[in-house]
A and B are shown apart, each in its own frame.
Chain A
Amino acid sequence: EAQVTQNPRYLITVTGKKLTVTCSQNMNHEYMSWYRQDPGLGLRQIYYSMNVEVTDKGDVPEGYKVSRKEKRNFPLILESPSPNQTSLYFCATGPLNTGELFFGEGSRLTVL
């Protein structure tokens, strides 16, 4: 079954405590991306990757890092989380040069 798996699904943490949200896809797509979704602001892109070892900033990259060491994995790293990073995060993957995205189930992060 084609899947995009994110972990954790829910997390409550405190300011400054580093955390990583993992994303793994078994669809063999080159493209992967992270979005955050906030009420009234919609889905905004954080980072994306067109291939292994190729990553680039999206529209709201501040406070986040990513890596793409393997095709299937694209973790999102918050080095020093702050309350304004409280949000619903989605990982997505899809074929290159299309807008067809397959989303993970989402990770709801609360930073106190």
Chain B
Amino acid sequence: QKEVEQNSGPLSVPEGAIASLNCTYSDRGSQSFFWYRQYSGKSPELIMFIYSNGDKEDGRFTAQLNKASQYVSLLIRDSQPSDSATYLCAVRIGGATNKLIFGTGTLLAVQP
């Protein structure tokens, strides 16, 4: 069974701090990795994806991938109360497929 594991949280950080969200996956054949944000009562929306080992930055968000350790993380710099949401890690196994395996998500609470 292919799995994606996340700490459910809540992860509480003060406004302006760096929030660090972590995710591990079990399938070494996984090829691409995604972070979706889901506000309470809303649908998930894609915020970042990463394919290669290392860091990928987009504004206040940085995705980090370490395939050897099967570990993906999302850093949010200068956290804002509007970042409070559940962050879903998703892994695409690869090949001719769109199939994603989702983690159960980490709830982030940014305190003003």
Q: A residues touching B (Cβ–Cβ < 8 Å)?
A: 31, 33, 40-45, 48, 50, 58, 90, 94, 96-106
Contacts and interface: CB of A to CB of B under 8 A. Distances in A.
10 closest residue pairs by CB, A with B = A103-B43, A42-B104, A99-B92, A43-B102, A31-B98, A99-B34, A42-B102, A99-B100, A103-B44, A106-B43
B97 A97 contact: yes
Contact of A96 (B45, B90, B98, B104): B98
A70 B92 CA distance: 26
Contacts of B98: 31, 33, 48, 50, 94, 96-99, 101
A45 B43 contact: no
B97 A45 contact: no
B99 interface: yes
Contacts of B97: 97
Nearest to A94: B98
Given A42-B88, A43-B88, A101 B102 contact: no
Nearest to A4: B43
A97 B96 contact: yes
Nearest to A100: B46
B62 interface: no
B43 A90 contact: yes
A103 B39 CA distance: 13
Contacts of A40: 104
B44 A48 contact: no
Given A41-B104, A96-B98, A90 B92 contact: no
Contacts of B34: 99-100
Contact of B43 (A48, A98, A105): A105
A96 B100 CA distance: 12
B104 to A, nearest CB: 4
A93 to B, nearest CB: 9
